[in-house]
Structure 1
Amino acid sequence: MQYWYNVDTAQVESDDDRSPNANVMGPYDSPEAAQNALQTAHEKSEQWDEEDRRWNDEGQR
């Protein structure tokens, strides 16, 4: 079973009770991973921003 994080309600949902795509993040393999969806997204965004900064800095040399 997969799990989803509902950004409107801040609740974890399963495949059985999932809201429309526009309201959820996922899928995740566990309820815990779904509950941490916003933190995971933030961490990945920070990582990608840093990679972009390095790419841009190296490209200007």
Structure 2
Amino acid sequence: MSFWYNVDTGQVETDDNRSRGEQVLGPYATEAEARAALDTAHKKTEQWDSQDRDWNERGAAGAGDDDA
């Protein structure tokens, strides 16, 4: 069974009672993972933003260095 986090209601849902549409995050393997969905999404977004900044800085500094 998969678990989902409903961002509108703040409730964990299962495959049996899951809302349809963009208001759910998942699937997650456990109820605890689903309950932590917003925190997990926030951490991943911060990580991706950091990687994007690093990539952009390397791209600007390393332009023309592809021959290495």
Q: TM-score, normalised by structure 1?
A: 0.97
Distance in 1 of aligned mates of 2:59 and 2:19: 43
Greater relative contact order (CA < 8 Å, ≥ 6 in sequence): 1
Runs of 4+ off more than 3 Å: none
Larger helix fraction of residues: 1
User: Residue 6 of structure 1 corresponds to which residue in structure 2?
Assistant: 6
* Structure 1 spans left out of the alignment, 5+ residues: none
User: Residue 20 of structure 1 corresponds to which residue in structure 2?
Assistant: 20
Aligned sequence identity (%): 56
Q: Which has the larger radius of gyration?
A: 2
User: Which residue identity lines up with residue 8 of structure 2 in the other structure?
Assistant: D
User: Residue 44 of structure 1 corresponds to which residue in structure 2?
Assistant: 44
Aligned residues: 61
